[in-house]
Each structure stands twice: as structure tokens, then as C-alpha cells.
Amino acid sequence: MTTSSALPSVFEILKPAVGPSSSHTLGPLAAAREFAGRAAAASPEGGPGRVRVDLYGSLALTGRGHLTDLAIAAGLSGYGPRELAGRSLDDVSREVRAAGRVRVDRTELLFDLDRDVVFDAAQRELAHPNTMRFSLVDRAGGILFLETYYSIGGGRLAGGAFGELQAARDERGKHTASDVVTECERLGIDLAEYVYRTEETAYGRSRADVDAHADEMWSLMQAAVERGLKADDVLPGSLHLERRARSLYARFLEQLPHFHVLSPEASLASIYAIAVAEENAAGGAVVTAPTCGSCGVLPACLRVVQEKKGCRDDEIRRALLVASFVGSCIAANASISGAEVGCQGEVGAASAMAAGAVAYLLGGSVHDQVDRAAESALEHYLGLTCDPVDGLVQIPCIERNAAGAVSALNAASLALLSGGGDHVSFDGVVDTMWRTGRDLDARYRETAQGGLAAKPSPRS
């Protein structure tokens, strides 16, 4: 739960996840797990209650392609991202289907995965486009316990024990990047140090706790890159999309001595980003940065810079904290939910995070260069639609990760070369992104009803 007096924690922005979507997979997984624990206590003594889950808005329209129903089955069974590290959602869902129930501690709850998850796309008046209602009902259909959750982006939730949706919205605009930068300059500290101090004062986490978390996230990111570079199978879903990071990397190594349009670093960043995005699309273990759909951008950029400059892991750790600060500002003052603001809140936010982190890693000043790098990266994604073909996080999502990585490196380079200063502030772009996203037609906000998603597939 987010402390109301602070930006979202680095533990919320960068966290372990299973693909393909943070808002449609990771969020429902966490909501189901939380509901199951509370429902078990309310289950009738005369026999197990039944769990019913109603999905609305974007969750109803693209939930099947995002494996929302399978994530709910796993969450009701007590699984979180770490528990799923060695298992797949398919494996868990098969067990739940066979049993027709889930077990929570010593309590059993009836649950028919194919009947008890309802994709209700007819509902229009919703408090949030990612709304889910969990009910525990008795044999007569009477409601014993009910809870509504909202998946607000990056796997973050409102509702239930996660806090009220309106409370999260009321915080918007209260924590600006410019105020933080001014405070850093007054105290003579950098952004990474600011994150350390915020984690301690607002969330009670020690520097050692933050370091351990950042190190774990970097390890998970690196592992996702490595797996993605080795896999050569077909991604799950109706598109039958072949994974290509492995072949791209092999061709890159072969053609490195020859002419190329982009720098080797930009090409590598694209490949690394695709590798991680393909892992995410396959339902693999990734790190939200700030979402699953945009999880390839930040690790790709930091890996390229580390390989080029020989950066130590402790330097990468601090860069991750700076990235989390950028993502926190966007999450707090706008949104990182594709269903709310389109892909500008996902790949756009990830590109801004990576640009700020790279500028910091290469010695950029907090005010003039880190801030400008993040601003420049996000500025050029304003209005970007979220239009997943067939509701899958594959086309155009995977290649958008590659584009976001290259854009981030370019934004960082421009900020460092320029010496800083700009006519538009990072806060101004974040506010513009929020207003632009709210103006986007719902067809372009993760509903698979417009944009590329509305074009017939050439394989159909």
C-alpha cells in the first residue's frame, strides 16, 4: 500500500512479475491472492463457498489474451510472482480446472475457472477501466463476502487492503519532480540518495533493504535478457509469433564489422529489449519497469551502458533507484496504466525512466541533465496508443520496447551534450501525458478495439 505522504516506493515501481501484463496479469494475481485469504475466513461452515470473479472494462476486453483468468486461478491458489518462478500459469490452471476448487490454507473454496470468471464487456460506467469484483457466494447464490479491486498500472492495486481508489487519485500533483530536485540541491544530495532517504522515512526500509531489492531486480532483469537471447520457440496465443531475439543477436554478431545504420549500442539495446519483451509475452519472469508491457526498455539500456563503460553493479543499483524515482513521479502524477492513458504511460514512461537512469549513470547533473533526459524521452511518446493485436502483449508491444530503448539512449545523449536546460519541464510533460491520455478514445486504451488491433491479421 502506498503511503499517502510520499511518492510510490521503488518496491512498487520495480518488482518481480510474471508476464504478459502488469495490470491484467500481475494485478489480478495479487487481488485474487488477497481476496482468497479474506474469503476463507468468511466461508460457511456447512460447506465450501464458491468464488465468482467479474471483470469489467479493459480487463473484460483484453483479459483473455493477457491471461487474466489464469492469473486469478493462481492467485486464489496462493501463488505470487516468486512462487510462480518455477511454474507456469498454464500448469496451475490445469490443476484448478481438474479440482474444481482452490485451497487456501486449510479451507477449500469452490471455483470453476471456465464458469466463475465472467468477462463482462457491457459495463460502461466504471470508476476505473481495470475493475474487478470478487464475490464469495453460498450454495443458494447469496453473497457472503464481496470486494472490488482496481488494477491501476504496474501491478499496483486499489481496493480491498490496498487502499481506496480515490485516495490514490487525490495524491496526483502533490509530489512534483521539480520540488524533489530543489530539495536535492538544498541538501547537496543526488536522486539516488533521495530515494534511500524516502524509503527509510516513508516506508521504514533500511539502506540495506533497498540495496538488496535493487540487486535482486537487476539480477532478474539480467536473467530475463539471457533467457530471451536463447529462446527460439513460438509465443503463446493466436498470432503464432516466432521469437526472434536469438536470431537477431546472432546476425548482429556476424555483421558487426560491416556497415550499419545505428550504432552497435543502439542495435544491441533494441535486441536486448526484444529479448526481455518476448520473455514477458511468453509469461516468463520479468521485472515491472514500470509495467510488464514495457519491461524490456530499462534493462536493455542499463546493460548496454554497463557493457560499454564497465559500470560496477553498485553504480547500476543507484541508476535503478533514479529510474524508479522517474517512474514514481509518472505513476503519482499521471498514470502507468495503458487502460487509462495508452502506451505513453507504459513504453513512454519506461523510456523516460531509462533516459534518466542512463544520464545519471554517465554523470549527468540532477537538474539540468537527468530531468531533461526523462522529459525529452517522455515528450516524444505523447499520445501513443495502446492497441494490442488480438489482446496479446506482442504486436506492437515487443518492438515498441526496442524503440523505447533507443529513444531513451538518444534522449540521455542529447541531455548530456546540451548541458541541460529546456523550455518544457518534466513535470509539465507528465501533466500533459495525463491529460492527453484521458482525451484518448477508449478504443486506443488497451481495449483492442482500435488502432493496429482493429486491422485484420494477415494470417487470418
Dump pLDDT digits (tens) for 101-129: 998 877 889 999 999 999 999 988 899 99
Would you state the cell numbers that stand for residue 264, as one nine-digit string?
552497435
Closest CA to 410 of 272, 309, 304, 274: 304
> What is the SS3 assignment for 137?
strand
Confirm if 72 and 89 have CB atoms less than 8 A apart.
Answer: no
Confirm if 135 and 75 have CB atoms less than 8 A apart.
Answer: no
Counting residues of the chain whose pLDDT is more than 90, the rounded percentage is: 81
Dump pLDDT digits (tens) for 284-343: 999 999 999 999 999 999 999 999 999 999 999 999 999 999 999 999 999 999 999 999
Reported confidence tier of residue 459, pLDDT bands at 50, 70, 90: low
Look at residue 4 and tell me whether its pLDDT is greater than 50: no
Confirm if 440 and 390 have CB atoms less than 8 A apart.
Answer: no
Tell me what the mean pLDDT of segment 29-50 comes to.
Answer: 85
Would you state the cell numbers that stand for residue 213, as one nine-digit string?
531489492
Model pLDDT, residue 3: 46
Q: What share of the chain is helix, strand, coil (3-state, %, to 5)?
A: 55, 10, 35
**Quick one: residue 181, left, alpha or beta (phi over 0 = left, psi -120 to 50 = alpha)?**
alpha
Counting residues of the chain whose pLDDT is more than 70, the rounded percentage is: 96
Model pLDDT, residue 122: 93
Tell me what the mean pLDDT of segment 441-455 comes to.
Answer: 94
Distance of alpha carbon 200 from alpha carbon 211, whole angstroms:
12
Look at residue 413 and tell me whether its pLDDT is greater than 70: yes
- The larger pLDDT score, comparing residue 363 to residue 419, is at 363
Model pLDDT, residue 5: 59
- In the numeric block, the cell 480491498 is attached to 160
Look at residue 172 and tell me whether its pLDDT is greater than 80: no
Tell me what the mean pLDDT of segment 141-163 comes to.
Answer: 93
- In the numeric block, the cell 548496454 is attached to 304
Entry pTM? 0.94
CATH topology of domain 20-168: 60s Ribosomal Protein L30; Chain: A; (3.30.1330)
- One-letter identity of residue 246: R
Q: Where are the domains of the chain?
A: 20-168, 173-454
> What is the SS3 assignment for 33?
helix
Confirm if 367 and 415 have CB atoms less than 8 A apart.
Answer: no
Let me know how long the chain is. Answer: 460
Reported confidence tier of residue 1, pLDDT bands at 50, 70, 90: very low
User: What average pLDDT does the structure give for the chain?
Assistant: 92
Look at residue 344 and tell me whether its pLDDT is greater than 50: yes
- The larger pLDDT score, comparing residue 108 to residue 228, is at 228
> What is the SS3 assignment for 446?
coil
Confirm if 49 and 68 have CB atoms less than 8 A apart.
Answer: no
Would you state the cell numbers that stand for residue 10, as one nine-digit string?
521503488
Model pLDDT, residue 232: 93
Look at residue 2 and tell me whether its pLDDT is greater than 80: no
Model pLDDT, residue 337: 96
Tell me what the mean pLDDT of segment 217-221 comes to.
Answer: 97
- Angle in degrees, 0-180, between the axes of helices 297-309 and 264-281, rounded to the nearest 10: 140
Model pLDDT, residue 400: 98
Tell me what the mean pLDDT of segment 344-356 comes to.
Answer: 98
Give how far Cα 271 sits from Cα of 12, 105, 245, Å: 27, 43, 6
Give how far Cα 187 sits from Cα of 194, 197, 210, Å: 9, 12, 21
